[in-house]
């Protein structure tokens, strides 16, 4: 009871506008519903109720995220394509499930599972981030239990379809599954790092140095980005590079001023084809500051957006704060600012060139989005030119 009161008070105290989507009366009524019959509810059920209420506040930075909890997870990582759930990563023992489509868990259909999780998943603010987060949270045993999908948090029957054959697998959960085998659309060696902060933030050129690719998958500090951006500008100027690709896919966000620091240096690169030679890759996992920077790059750098709609809204609540519930120590996050990065009220930042990935790209390790850009640069409708052959 103490934690529920602290949750309610914290949201009301900290959030810039907690009732932008639900009324205060609705919020207070739902708090009473969570408290009602509390002694008869399990902790997992109460957690799910608080996740559901937080989800209805309806912005991607106000969430009940389950951070730092010792949760049990089943040994698969999932991704949703066109309303279907697929296994894209597993432990060694479950590698045979890679590429398989999830049909049900303990007799509950995948469509019903998606519906239930869509009502509770943290950090969801449009259909794209919702599907991303649903897939991330489905393997969490305590959440499955709190939603009434499974009764035993330690094992459950997963039905998968692979090669037109359906089979039931009893999977066992653990607190730290050791994942290994995975499917990905990202191809190695199309570009290799020339200078890097780490494996998630680096730049590398094409064979002829005329195109420079920036892998911007995670954020860093302003000072580190400044150092990388300075090296990037020096490379472009010294090699007379013409084309620039900034890859913001799979980027969960950070400080968008870090991205602006990158842009501050790039605008000084006079050799770049500023009319049509700058591209930014985005997808459903381009969240928060990454979405903000994508919108800013389209304006500041005249970049063409390629890929999929972002998982974040260009006009909405951002800049996350958090507080901790006193007894359970659950974290609760909230939005502190309201930003407008575009003039419209669209639910996502949409690409200029829409290219959606499917499970086939993951199985075939085929990056159609990057391939489109390389073909556009060379003016080819076929495979990329020799300038973009993988380096050895």
Backbone angles phi, psi at 288, to 5 degrees: 50, -125
Distance between CA atoms of 25 and 30, rounded to whole angstroms? 9
Distance between CA atoms of 100 and 88, rounded to whole angstroms? 8
Residue 238 clears pLDDT 90, i.e. is over it: yes
Determine the pLDDT at residue 389: 37
Distance from chain centroid for Cα 363: 20
Determine the pLDDT at residue 156: 98
Residues in the chain: 392
Over range 341-353, report the average pLDDT: 90
Determine the pLDDT at residue 384: 39
Least confident of 79-88, 204-213, 317-326, 372-381: 372-381
Determine the pLDDT at residue 358: 97
Ranked by mean pLDDT, which of 181-190, 265-274, 373-382 comes out on top? Answer: 265-274
8 A C-beta contact, residue 214 and residue 245:
yes
8 A C-beta contact, residue 289 and residue 339:
no
Distance between CA atoms of 70 and 48, rounded to whole angstroms? 16
**Residue found by looking up tokens 């790209």 in the block:** 361
Round the average pLDDT of the chain to a whole number and report it. 94
Q: Please name which of 243, 231, 237 lies closest in space to residue 191, comparing C-alpha atoms.
A: 243
Distance between CA atoms of 314 and 359, rounded to whole angstroms? 27
In the chain, pLDDT over 90 holds for what percent of residues? 91
Q: Please name which of 223, 304, 290 lies closest in space to residue 259, comparing C-alpha atoms.
A: 290
Q: Please name which of 148, 141, 116 lies closest in space to residue 45, comparing C-alpha atoms.
A: 148
303: left (phi over 0), alpha (psi -120 to 50) or beta: beta
Residue 391 clears pLDDT 70, i.e. is over it: no
Residue 327 clears pLDDT 90, i.e. is over it: yes
8 A C-beta contact, residue 139 and residue 158:
no
What would the pLDDT profile of 219-230 be if each residue is shown by its tens digit? 999 999 999 999
Distance between CA atoms of 145 and 119, rounded to whole angstroms? 15
78, β-bridge pairs: 87
Residue 337 clears pLDDT 50, i.e. is over it: yes
Determine the pLDDT at residue 390: 33
Residue 154 clears pLDDT 50, i.e. is over it: yes
Over range 97-105, report the average pLDDT: 98
Q: Per-residue confidence at 380, pLDDT binned at 50, 70, 90? A: low
- Number of Cβ within 10 Å of residue 381's Cβ equals 7
Q: Dihedral through CA 175, CA 59, CA 344, CA 296, nearest 10?
A: -50
Radius of gyration for the chain, computed over Cα atoms and rounded to the nearest angstrom: 22
Least confident of 72-81, 310-319, 351-360: 310-319
Q: Per-residue confidence at 98, pLDDT binned at 50, 70, 90? A: very high
HSE (CB half, 13 Å, CA atoms) of 118?
A: 13
Over range 252-260, report the average pLDDT: 96
Residue 383 clears pLDDT 50, i.e. is over it: no
Distance between CA atoms of 31 and 50, rounded to whole angstroms? 9
Q: Please name which of 44, 113, 50, 51 lies closest in space to residue 80, comparing C-alpha atoms.
A: 113
Q: Indicate the SS3 state at residue 176.
A: coil
What would the pLDDT profile of 33-54 be if each residue is shown by its tens digit? 999 999 899 999 999 999 999 9
Over range 59-82, report the average pLDDT: 95
Distance between CA atoms of 280 and 17, rounded to whole angstroms? 32
Distance between CA atoms of 98 and 76, rounded to whole angstroms? 9
Helix (H) or strand (E) holding 27: helix 24-35
Q: Indicate the SS3 state at residue 194.
A: coil
Q: Dihedral through CA 388, CA 216, CA 83, CA 70, nearest 10?
A: 130
């Amino acid at each position: 009871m103490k934690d529920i009161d602290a949750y309610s008070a914290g949201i009301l105290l900290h959030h810039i506008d907690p009732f932008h989507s639900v009324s205060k009366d609705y919020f207070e009524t739902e708090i009473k519903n969570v408290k009602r019959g509390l002694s008869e509810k399990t902790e997992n059920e109460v957690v799910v109720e608080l996740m559901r209420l937080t989800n209805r506040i309806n912005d991607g930075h106000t969430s009940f995220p389950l951070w730092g909890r010792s949760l049990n997870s089943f040994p698969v990582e999932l991704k949703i394509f066109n309303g279907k759930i697929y296994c894209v990563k597993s432990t060694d023992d479950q590698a045979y499930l890679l590429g398989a489509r999830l049909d049900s868990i303990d007799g509950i259909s995948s469509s019903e599972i998606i519906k239930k999780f869509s009502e509770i998943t943290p950090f969801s603010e449009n259909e794209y981030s919702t599907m991303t987060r649903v897939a991330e949270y489905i393997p969490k045993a305590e959440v499955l239990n709190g939603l009434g999908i499974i009764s035993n948090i330690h094992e459950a029957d997963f039905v998968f379809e692979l090669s037109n054959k359906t089979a039931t697998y009893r999977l066992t959960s653990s607190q730290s599954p050791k994942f290994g085998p995975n499917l990905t659309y990202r191809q190695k060696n199309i570009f290799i790092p020339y200078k890097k902060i780490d494996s998630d933030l680096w730049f590398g050129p094409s064979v002829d140095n005329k195109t420079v690719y920036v892998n911007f998958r995670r954020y860093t500090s302003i000072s580190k980005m400044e150092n990388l951006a300075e090296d990037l500008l020096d490379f472009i100027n010294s090699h007379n590079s013409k084309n620039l690709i900034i890859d913001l896919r799979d980027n969960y966000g950070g400080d968008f001023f870090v991205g602006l620091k990158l842009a501050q240096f790039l605008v000084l690169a006079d050799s770049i084809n500023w009319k049509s030679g700058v591209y930014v890759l985005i997808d459903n996992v381009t969240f928060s500051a990454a979405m903000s920077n994508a919108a800013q790059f389209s304006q500041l750098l005249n970049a063409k957006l390629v890929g999929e709609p972002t998982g974040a809204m260009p006009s909405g609540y951002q800049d996350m704060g958090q507080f901790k519930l006193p007894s359970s120590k659950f974290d609760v996050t909230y939005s502190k600012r309201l930003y407008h990065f575009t003039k419209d009220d669209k639910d996502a930042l949409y690409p200029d060139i829409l290219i959606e990935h499917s499970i086939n790209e993951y199985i075939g390790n085929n990056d159609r989005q990057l391939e489109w850009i390389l073909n556009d640069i060379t003016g080819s409708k076929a495979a990329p030119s020799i300038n973009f052959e993988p380096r050895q």
